[in-house]
Amino acid sequence: MTGFDPAARERELRAESEQWDTTTVRPAVDGDIPVIDVGAWFESGTARDLEEVARRLAWASETVGFHQLVGHGFDPDLVAAAFEATRRIHALPDAAKEAIALDRPDWPLGGVGHLRIGERKLPRRARGNRNEAFLVKGGDRIGFDDNQWPDPALVPGFRATVEAYATAAAALARRLVPAYAVALDLDPDYFADAFRDPFWRLRLSHYPSASDRGRTEGDYGIAPHVDTTFFTLLRQESTGLCVHHAPSDEWIVVPVVPDAFVINGGELLRQWTNDRFLSARHFADNPDAHSRYSIPFFFNADADHVMAPLPGCFGPDNPLRYPPVSYRESQAAVQGE
- Alpha-carbon distances, residue 128 vs 123, 131, 223, 251 (angstroms): 10, 9, 9, 22
Higher pLDDT, 51 or 3: 51
Residue-averaged pLDDT of the chain: 92
Could you please state the CATH topology (level 3) that the domain comprising 6-334 is classified under: Jelly Rolls (2.60.120)
Cis? peptide before 156, omega within 30° of 0: no
Contacts of 249 (CB under 8 A, 6+ apart): none
Q: What is the pLDDT of residue 13?
A: 85
Does pLDDT of 214 surpass 50? Answer: no
Lowest-confidence range among 34-43, 121-130, 245-254, 314-323?
121-130
DSSP string, 7-23: HHHHHHHHHHHHT---S
Contact at 8 Å (CB) between 113 and 150?
no
Contacts of 103 (CB under 8 A, 6+ apart): 110, 111, 113, 336
**Per-residue pLDDT reduced to its tens digit, 30-57:** 999 999 999 999 999 999 999 999 999 9
pTM for this predicted structure: 0.95
**Per-residue pLDDT reduced to its tens digit, 123-181:** 666 665 789 999 999 999 999 999 999 999 999 999 999 999 999 999 999 999 999 99
**Per-residue pLDDT reduced to its tens digit, 280-297:** 999 998 888 899 999 999
**Per-residue pLDDT reduced to its tens digit, 58-93:** 999 999 999 999 999 999 999 999 999 999 999 999
Dihedral angle sign, alpha carbons of residues 18, 24, 25, 26: negative
Q: Which of 267, 281, 275, 278 is nearest to 310 (CA)?
A: 275
Q: pLDDT above 90 covers what percent of the chain?
A: 81
Cα dihedral angle (210, 211, 217, 222), rounded to 10 degrees?
-30
Does pLDDT of 274 surpass 60? Answer: yes
